[in-house]
Amino acid sequence: MFLLLAAAGTLMFFADGFTRRPLETRHEKDTKISAAENILNNELDNIINRINYIRRQEDENLNFRLKNKAETTMQFIQKMKNEYGAEKGVEMSVSILAAVNRADSVFNLYVLAPDGKAHIFPAEPMYENSSFLGFRTSEGENIFAEIAAKPERFTNKFITYSLRARHGMSPEKKKAYVVCDSQSGIITIAEADNTEAERIAKSKVRDDLSNLYMLYPAYGRINLFESVGTFTGKSFLKTVLNEELESTPENDGQKSSEFAPLIYSGREIILHTREDPVFGKYSEALTVVKKYPEWNWYITKSRFFEYDGIHIEKPDIILTATNNLQNGYLILIVFSVMGLFTLYILIKNSGLVHKALSPAEKELTDLHTVNFRMAEKIKEHKEKEKKLNDSKLELEEKLALKTKEYRKMNEMLIAENMERTQQDQILRAEKEKAEAANIMKREFLTNTSEKLKTMVTEIKQCSETGSAGFDEMTAEETASLFGSIHSKGGELMNFLGLIIDLSKLEAGKTEDKISSVDFKELFTRLCYETVPLFAATESAVNIEFSDENIVIRTRYRHAEIAFLHLLSYAAKSCRKGTRLNLRYFRTKSLRSGTLVDSATIETGYIESLDIMKGHNPFSLPSGSDSSFININIFNEALKRCGGTFYVNETEQGSLFSVVIPELGDVQ
In sequence order, the β-bridge partners of residue 223 are 300
User: Which residues, at least 6 apart from 218, have a Cβ–Cβ distance to it below 8 Å?
Assistant: 243, 244, 245, 276, 277, 278
| Three-state SS sequence of 333-356 | HHHHHHHHHHHHHHHHCHHHHHHH
Separation of alpha carbons 565 and 120, rounded Å: 44
Query: Quick one: pLDDT at residue 378?
Result: 92
Sheet holding 172-180, edge to edge: 118-121, 107-112, 187-193, 172-180, 157-163
Pairwise pLDDT comparison (342 vs 224), residue with the higher score: 224
Alpha-helical (H) ranges within 600-656 are 627-640
The mean pLDDT of 601-606, rounded to a whole number, is: 72
- The torsion angles phi and psi of 310, rounded to 5 degrees, stand at -110, 130
Pairwise pLDDT comparison (309 vs 117), residue with the higher score: 117
User: Which is nearest to 468 in space by CA: 491, 489, 477?
Assistant: 477
Distances (CA, A) of 95 to 100, 131, 425, 571: 9, 18, 11, 43
Separation of alpha carbons 237 and 231, rounded Å: 15
The mean pLDDT of 340-359, rounded to a whole number, is: 73
Separation of alpha carbons 36 and 29, rounded Å: 10
Res. 77: pLDDT tops 70: yes
Res. 359: pLDDT tops 90: no
Q: pLDDT class for 125, splitting at 50, 70, 90?
A: low
Highest mean pLDDT among 98-112, 136-150, 585-599, 602-616: 585-599
- The torsion angles phi and psi of 589, rounded to 5 degrees, stand at -140, 155
Separation of alpha carbons 594 and 488, rounded Å: 50
Let me know if 554 is exposed, middle or buried by CB neighbors in 10 A (0-12, 13-18, 19+): buried
Question: What global pTM score does this model have?
Answer: 0.43
Cβ pair 555, 512 in contact under 8 A: yes
400 by DSSP, 3-state: which?
helix
Query: Quick one: pLDDT at residue 16?
Result: 55
Res. 101: pLDDT tops 90: no
Separation of alpha carbons 188 and 167, rounded Å: 28
Res. 178: pLDDT tops 90: yes
Instruction: Specify the range with the lowest mean pLDDT, choosing from 11-15, 150-154, 178-182.
Output: 11-15
The mean pLDDT of 541-546, rounded to a whole number, is: 76
Query: Quick one: pLDDT at residue 215?
Result: 66
The mean pLDDT of 280-292, rounded to a whole number, is: 85
The mean pLDDT of 103-111, rounded to a whole number, is: 76
Pairwise pLDDT comparison (302 vs 279), residue with the higher score: 302
Query: Quick one: pLDDT at residue 395?
Result: 92
Query: Quick one: pLDDT at residue 27?
Result: 76
Instruction: Specify the range with the lowest mean pLDDT, choosing from 261-265, 493-497, 656-660.
Output: 493-497
Q: pLDDT class for 391, splitting at 50, 70, 90?
A: very high
| Run of H or E including 461 | helix 350-468
Pairing state between β 269-275 and 107-112: unpaired
Query: Quick one: pLDDT at residue 313?
Result: 37
663-667's contacts with Cβ under 8 Å and 24+ in sequence apart are 663/514, 663/553, 663/554, 663/555, 664/514, 664/553, 665/514, 667/514, 667/642
Let me know if 628 is exposed, middle or buried by CB neighbors in 10 A (0-12, 13-18, 19+): buried
Cβ pair 550, 511 in contact under 8 A: no
Separation of alpha carbons 474 and 480, rounded Å: 10
Pairwise pLDDT comparison (311 vs 33), residue with the higher score: 33
Query: Quick one: pLDDT at residue 491?
Result: 65
Q: pLDDT class for 366, splitting at 50, 70, 90?
A: confident
Query: Mind listing the pLDDT tens digit for each residue in 505-521?
Result: 666 666 667 888 888 88
Query: Quick one: pLDDT at residue 130?
Result: 47
Res. 99: pLDDT tops 70: yes
Res. 108: pLDDT tops 60: yes
Query: Quick one: pLDDT at residue 335?
Result: 63
Dihedral (CA of 12, 18, 23, 24) sign: positive
Q: pLDDT class for 289, splitting at 50, 70, 90?
A: very high
User: Which is nearest to 645 in space by CA: 619, 614, 621, 618?
Assistant: 614
Pairwise pLDDT comparison (610 vs 150), residue with the higher score: 150
Query: Quick one: pLDDT at residue 615?
Result: 47
Q: pLDDT class for 666, splitting at 50, 70, 90?
A: very low
Cβ pair 90, 186 in contact under 8 A: yes
Distances (CA, A) of 650 to 248, 543, 653: 74, 21, 5
For all residues of the chain together, what is the average pLDDT? 76
Residue 346 CB neighbours (<10 A):
12
User: Which is nearest to 629 in space by CA: 444, 486, 492?
Assistant: 444
User: Which is nearest to 116 in space by CA: 131, 95, 138?
Assistant: 131
Separation of alpha carbons 531 and 537, rounded Å: 10
- The torsion defined by the Cα of 271, 275, 278 and 280, in degrees rounded to 10, comes to 150
User: Which is nearest to 194 in space by CA: 169, 163, 154?
Assistant: 163
Query: 9's torsion region: left (phi>0), alpha (psi -120 to 50) or beta?
Result: alpha
Cβ pair 311, 319 in contact under 8 A: no
Cβ pair 192, 175 in contact under 8 A: yes
Res. 14: pLDDT tops 70: no
Res. 581: pLDDT tops 50: yes
Distances (CA, A) of 81 to 89, 123, 592: 4, 22, 11
Pairwise pLDDT comparison (401 vs 349), residue with the higher score: 401
Res. 333: pLDDT tops 80: no
Query: Mind listing the pLDDT tens digit for each residue in 29-66?
Result: 788 888 888 988 998 899 899 899 998 998 899 899 98
